[in-house]
Structure 1
Amino acid sequence: LRSFNKAYKTQNQFLNSEIHQVTKIWSKVAQREKTLLMKCARLQAHNCQIESKYLMLLRKLQGLPDLASEHKEMVKGLIQEALQWDVKEEAEIPIRQNPIKEYDDYGFMTIPEYEASDWKLLAKIQALEIKSSNLLNQEVLEKPLSEKWNNLGELSPSSELKALLRCGVPPEHRQRVWRWIVSHRVQHIRSPGHYQNLLKKCEAAEHPASRQIELDLPRTLTNNKHFLSPTSQLLPKLRRVLLAFSWQNPTIGYCQGLNRLAAIALLVLEEEENAFWCLVHITENLMPPDYYSNMLIGSQVDQRVFKDFLSAKLPKLTAHLEHHRIDLALVTFNWFLVVFVDSLVSDILFRVWDAFLYEGTKVIFRYALAIFKYNEEAILRIQDSLEIYQYLRFFTKTICDGRKLTNIAFSDMNPFRMKLLRNRREEYRLKLEAEMRELEKIKTQYLMAQAEHPSSHLDGAVSEDDDDDDI
């Protein structure tokens, strides 16, 4: 027995030693694999940057006015070739990770099918730059952020949650977070069975807005695969959400733009009732009154407020735009109305919405200012009004670093208090209402004058040659 016991002890020591050695080898291999993957990510990011610079160079060459015709054709051919590269081929090369996919996690085209080749080229440059940035930030920023979300546990209002939301919610947590935000903010008006009752109302009677809703359904998120096909499963959900909302809030009913807000909510929340309450939260909690009314008064007011903030934060840029008589509302009005949907690439758009759903409209102002700050130098270099307008049409497509934009929005730009925003809104609302009353007064006077002189109407007048014309 003693010799057996000694033999077992010796065998156990040997096995423990083997296990220890294997563990050390496995640890070294795991560390080496991690190092190689990080190196691979850096190399791929570098490759994306080279490809992006190549495309930028082609775009600049294309715009040269004195380029020889044969060289123009050559550049045009190279651009077409670059845009036709099949990104799926990258997946066939084992060493290359995370190729640019045709669609992102939420179904948006990575490179939308723009009619203008220049816009498509910009979209590909942006996709490459964003991919490069994400690869380089994965270990340093994204992984620690994801770990914070994993360890957060039950959600509750706090400064920590606010800071995390500003950094952006990882896709795997976004649905849970949005659902909590919306539920928390509409709990005072949400009741069991309310949404189903609204749907029954939709079936019982046709809402006056139903025709406009039907017209807008096919125009919703045209660069997203979940809304491209008439047979898409999300379209009937979107229809029901919008019709239910038109009965929920008769003062708004339906306004163009609500379809895009509801569509974004559906992409993340998936369940249509949750998307409905998200739309209610946006229109009734976050946005000021009359934002989606017939006259869009709240939206008009915010454009004037934003112009004030831009002048205070970026005076040099404001002076430049005023010198060239640029009406910024032509660009920014839609940003505010639909919270940057169809303006910002989805990678950045959802990060904006993460903070917006929690903090409200001041987030829109912050990001709108940040977009102009991000592109300030490029705008200042343009000295022609038409060229400025042309640049402003696509300049959000040049934003490739979402982290940089977020830092500008919440750190670089000096913050402004919600009280200041409320005071400015009240000031411009009073002015706008006074202007509208004056316009209504002028309109009434004109109609009265027309009624007093009916003979001045020329509806029945004919030209001298009318009698000779064939009908």
Structure 2
Amino acid sequence: MGVSGAQAQMDQNPGYYHRLLQGQWDEGLEEAIRTDMNRTFPDNVQFQKGADPCLQKALYNVLLAYGHHNLAVGYCQGMNFIAGYLILITKNEEESFWLLDALVGRILPDYYSPTMLGLKTDQEVLGELVRTKLPAVATLMDGHGVPWALVVSRWFVCLFVDALPVETVLRVWDCLFNEGSKIIFRVALTLVRQHQAFILGATSAADVCEKFKEITKGTFVTECHTFMQKIFSQPGSLSMATIARLRESCRARLLAQG
């Protein structure tokens, strides 16, 4: 709450969250959120309808309030998993709302907007970083015609929620709140670098996709302390200036493509 700026926002806007829930509700927004309720952590007992309390209600409230707070975003699939994780950890709707705002509004702008331009841009940025740091993998992806969006979109959209073990995800999120979006690139690059030989064994586009699913499993990602050390050492230098430059060129390319 402190490092993300969420606490400051909450302190400066007392009662704002509850006022959002008491206002006029957008029926389309409600329907979109309700559709995803049963798809959010269906195996977690705290999100099942028989739970007491059932966190589905808290999740619904946080997403509904956020949709009315940030009209440019509304609700986008993937936000349910992020808000759900925040509720599981904080056990507090208002804190979860402000943490979600820190992520969606400031740390990851345009990831969840209708065009998802920020998300698409960062997937392309990862491709450029791999081209520089792990050229053999980039050549393989090009050779099989596999776009980066096909293999890493879930990593970016859900911030590794349904890819990595929970303890590891929470450690990654700590760094994300503290240091910003470049942590996502560090995690992705480390996963690819660690499993480079395995990925290079792919013989088809389908095989590439399957190998990318496999590299998020196993002891490398479950031993979260070691994993976190690796994400700060393995990718090497990764300055925000470099990322900003790549974002600019990748965004321009995407906009030119329409």
Settle same-fold status: TM greater than 0.5: yes
CA RMSD of aligned residues (A): 2.0
Q: What does the per-residue CA deviation read over 1:240-261, in whole Å, with 9 as the maximum and x for residues that have no partner?
A: 1011001100011111111111
Q: How does 1:399-414 map to 2 (within 5 A)?
A: 399-414=221-236
Structure 2 residue aligned with 1:280: 101
Structure 1 residue aligned with 2:125: 305
Structure 1 residue aligned with 2:142: 322
Cα separation, 2, equivalents of 1:185 and 1:319:
45
CA shift in 2, pair 1:186/1:248, >3 Å:
farther
Q: How does 1:9-408 map to 2 (within 5 A)?
A: 179-183=1-5, 186-187=8-9, 190-201=12-23, 204-229=24-49, 231=51, 233-288=54-109, 290-398=110-218, 399-408=221-230
The alignment of Structure 1 onto Structure 2 pairs a total of residues equal to: 255
Question: Shift of the alpha carbon at 1:308?
Answer: 0.2
Amino acid at match of 1:220: T
Cα separation, 1, equivalents of 2:5 and 2:184:
22
Cα separation, 1, equivalents of 2:196 and 2:4:
35
Question: Shift of the alpha carbon at 1:189?
Answer: 8.4
Question: Shift of the alpha carbon at 1:233?
Answer: 2.0
SS of 1:311's equivalent? helix
Cα separation, 2, equivalents of 1:310 and 1:195:
41
Q: Is the 8 A contact 1:185 1:281 kept in 2?
A: no
Question: Shift of the alpha carbon at 1:366?
Answer: 0.4
Question: Shift of the alpha carbon at 1:357?
Answer: 1.1
SS of 1:382's equivalent? coil
Identity level (%): 31
Q: What does the per-residue CA deviation read over 1:266-289, in whole Å, with 9 as the maximum and x for residues that have no partner?
A: 01111100000010010111012x
Cα separation, 1, equivalents of 2:150 and 2:169:
20
Higher relative contact order (CA closer than 8 Å, sequence separation 6+): 2
Cα separation, 2, equivalents of 1:270 and 1:183:
19
SS of 1:408's equivalent? helix
Question: Shift of the alpha carbon at 1:186?
Answer: 4.5
Q: What does the per-residue CA deviation read over 1:25-70, in whole Å, with 9 as the maximum and x for residues that have no partner?
A: xxxxxxxxxxxxxxxxxxxxxxxxxxxxxxxxxxxxxxxxxxxxxx
- Pick from 411, 419, 423 the counterpart of residue 245 of structure 2: 423
Question: Shift of the alpha carbon at 1:340?
Answer: 0.6
Q: Of the two, which has the highest radius of gyration? A: 1
Q: Is the 8 A contact 1:291 1:298 kept in 2?
A: yes
Q: Is the 8 A contact 1:304 1:428 kept in 2?
A: yes
Cα separation, 1, equivalents of 2:45 and 2:140:
40
Amino acid at match of 1:336: F
Cα separation, 1, equivalents of 2:71 and 2:27:
10
Unaligned segments of structure 2, at least 5 residues:
none
Cα separation, 1, equivalents of 2:6 and 2:104:
15
